[in-house]
Structure 1
Amino acid sequence: MRWCARCVLPDTRPGIVIGDDGVCNACRTHGLRPEVDWAERARAFGRLCESVRSDGPGYDALIPVSGGKDSHWQVLTCLEHGLKPLCVTWRPPGRTALGQANLDNLVRLGVDHIDFTVNPDVESRFMLAAFRRFGTPGLPMHMAIFGIPLAMALRMSIPLVVWGENSALEYGSPDGLHMGERLTSGWLARHGVMHGTTAEDWIGSEGLSARDLTPYFGPSPDDLEAKGLRAVFLGWYFPWDPEAVRRVASGSGFSASADGARTGFYDYADVDDEFIAVHHWLKWYKFGFTRTFDNLSLEIRNGRMTRGEALAEIARRGDEMPREDIEAASAFMRISPEEFFRIAERFRNPDVWTRHDGRWTIPDFIVPDWEWT
């Protein structure tokens, strides 16, 4: 493993490339922000909104939302530009009370909203199939998050889909600068966390039929564009910063967690789903880092934390295993926690981990005196 000399991300993170200077591509991309003409990009978004805005019946834009801080920012920005949006949510099976409260608050901002629930039995079997095949129970989540809103936009002839941040830009992608504005099929293939699969590839897994998987058969972004629909990232037009977005959302009634961060460093991110911590924690087995490393790297790039302070925070947190969430996710997938760990162990990366004195360790870990448990 190599670690970025500026942030705290390793080159095992998908999309991260560390250059000869020891700095990762995510940090280099962020360093180019001052060169961006943000005023012109804001005007470009205004022109885009003007091109789709209509005084007649129908929706000008569709906004995929969870109810989180980014969702509030997307909705507020679209409303400020005079759009009539339809908001669409894939309802997570582990939705939290706080997540529901924030989603209700978002709807009260003045939007129409569809809360799409997948058959829990289908979702349970799909999660287990994905976990067993790829070590990621979050794959159905990503397939639903991207597929359901795009399908809705196509079927309702909505001309614009407005996503929030572009994770390829924020968390690292060798080609992120060339894939910054639109969500395309190429973007989904590289950054959609679906391991290059479509719903069709899961027919027969855990007894799932094509009819069972209907909600996951979404159109590709290229199909949308062929119909004259565009899917864009708001973070291309306006500088995305989690703390700045949180302030905007909080000013409109969004609430952070009163019990601290559910996963990672931010107490206002990933607060809507009790299973998301499991998805993020499995990065530890596969890549040797967790959601906290992502968050702290953003804090470093935005000048709110030094690398030394980030390393101290990582050391202070120690083992971040979300035990209660693992138990809840295991129960939903109808397996025991013991079976969960047996499956997870199959995906422990031998290029990252070494067995030493009966314990798994990461050689040359970024925190030298890490307490391995």
Structure 2
Amino acid sequence: MRYCKQCILPDTRPGIFLDDDGICSACHGHRDKETKIDWTSRAKAFETLVAETKTQSTSYDCIVPVSGGKDSWYQVIKAKEHGLSVLAVTWRTPARTEIGQRNLDRMIEKLGVDHIDYTISPDVERRFMKATFEERGTTGLPMHMALFAIPIRLAVQFRIPLILWGENPQLEYGGNELERLSNTLDADWLSKHGCLESTDASYWLGKEGLSETDLHAYRLPASPDFTVRSVFLGAFYKWNSYENTRIAQDHGFVYEQGAERTGTWDFADIDCEFISLHHFLKWYKFGFTRAFDTLSVQIRYGMITRDQAVAEIRRRGLDAPKADIATFCAFQGKSEDWFWAVCEKFRNPDVWVRSEGRWTIPDFLIPDWDWGKPESEMEPS
């Protein structure tokens, strides 16, 4: 593993490339935001898009996919500032938090939007998550498949010409130059970056007894007879998670300071008890944690130094989301031993080596990292 010399992301992170100077593509994306992108022209392009949208709409102008989090508040606020009539659409997680529900309720009330809270059968969600976790080492695949497919299907069905997504992840977290400067979320983007493991709903048919009907909500519309523009708001306005949070708070968004679920941001990933598991599997697959992502963004914002970020990783350690793991296992009716055994199946041999009865990562960012006791020193369970 090699680490970016400006931030702390490793080259194992999907979408990350290090240049000859050891600088990662995510840091180059931040540089693009500051020096390459003409945000005034981008804002004018968005105004043109809004005008075109209004000539095409017959009911709502746009769908904004929302979780109730600070970014989706920001998306709705910006859409309404531009005079767009908004239908907010949510894939309802089977593990919604109390604060997530509260923020959704406040969004509807404070921002004055119509809202669809789309619930898939919890039993279908449970079986689908079990299948993807055991086969691909991801609990988040059904979540991503649903939250992308549902707004697109509803936009086609209701003849709504625009879907307004949030950040462009390839600009914020790493991608090639073409991807960083793109503004479109389309089928090609979903196949490459949608966290779908190169699968679609049909691939999972029959696994854990999943039927055609069970998987209907996860399917993109086939041969749609209506064209929908699907764009990243972060391609038109410079994205800043801290500024988005401030704007959202000014309108009524709330979060509990010092109570982060994953990573180092207490204002993010607070809507669902299972999102932390999606991030946690990165440890086994790629050798880094969610904190590497959020601390690297803080470095680029100039909030902390690289040395401070390294010290924070050392202080936090593995940061396993124990409470969320317990909740997920209860949802699945499985033991926590089952969860850890499945995680172990996806430990990447290109990243990890086994030495003296324990797994380690050669040349890890933290030289004195606590890798745990060797098996010879562990007490029998």
TM-score (norm 2): 0.94
Aligned to 1:169, the other structure's residue is in SS state helix
For structure 2, the residue ranges without an aligned partner over 5 or more in a row are 373-381
Does the 8 A contact of 1:105 with 1:253 survive in 2? yes
Does the 8 A contact of 2:89 with 2:151 survive in 1? yes
**CA deviation string 1:192-238 (max 9, x = no partner):** 00011110110000011111111101238xx66x7331000000000
1:70 aligns with 2:71: yes
Q: Aligned partners of 1:257, 1:338: CA distance in 2, in Å?
A: 31
Aligned to 2:270, the other structure's residue is in SS state coil
> What residue number does 1:60 align with?
61
**CA deviation string 1:163-188 (max 9, x = no partner):** 00011211111255466211022211
| CA deviation after TM superposition for structure 1 residue 189, in Å | 1.1
> What residue number does 1:325 align with?
324
Does the 8 A contact of 1:6 with 1:307 survive in 2? yes
> What residue number does 1:170 align with?
172
Percent identity, aligned pairs only? 51
Q: 1:352 to 1:178 in 2, by over 3 A?
A: closer
Q: Aligned partners of 1:257, 1:127: CA distance in 2, in Å?
A: 28
Aligned to 1:87, the other structure's residue is in SS state strand
| CA deviation after TM superposition for structure 1 residue 369, in Å | 1.3
Does the 8 A contact of 1:168 with 1:176 survive in 2? no
Aligned to 1:32, the other structure's residue is in SS state helix
Q: Aligned partners of 1:124, 1:252: CA distance in 2, in Å?
A: 35
Task: Give the AA of the match of 1:356.
Answer: S
Q: Aligned partners of 2:18, 2:180: CA distance in 1, in Å?
A: 18
Q: Aligned partners of 1:175, 1:190: CA distance in 2, in Å?
A: 15
1:19 aligns with 2:19: yes
Q: Aligned partners of 2:199, 2:360: CA distance in 1, in Å?
A: 32
Q: 1:98 to 1:175 in 2, by over 3 A?
A: same
Task: Give the AA of the match of 2:116.
Answer: I
Does the 8 A contact of 1:169 with 1:176 survive in 2? no
Does the 8 A contact of 2:170 with 2:180 survive in 1? no
Q: Aligned partners of 2:292, 2:162: CA distance in 1, in Å?
A: 33
Matching of residues 166-205 of structure 1 within 5 Å: 166-177=168-179, 180-205=182-207
> How many aligned positions are there?
370
Q: 1:321 to 1:176 in 2, by over 3 A?
A: farther
**CA deviation string 1:319-365 (max 9, x = no partner):** 20111111111121222111111111000011111222322111110
| CA deviation after TM superposition for structure 1 residue 260, in Å | 1.7
Aligned to 2:104, the other structure's residue is in SS state helix
TM-score (norm 1): 0.96
Task: Give the AA of the match of 1:199.
Answer: A
> What residue number does 1:134 align with?
136
> What residue number does 1:292 align with?
291
Does the 8 A contact of 2:7 with 2:27 survive in 1? yes
Task: Give the AA of the match of 1:202.
Answer: W
Q: CA RMSD in A?
A: 1.6
Q: 1:143 to 1:55 in 2, by over 3 A?
A: closer
**CA deviation string 1:61-92 (max 9, x = no partner):** 00000000100000000000001110000001
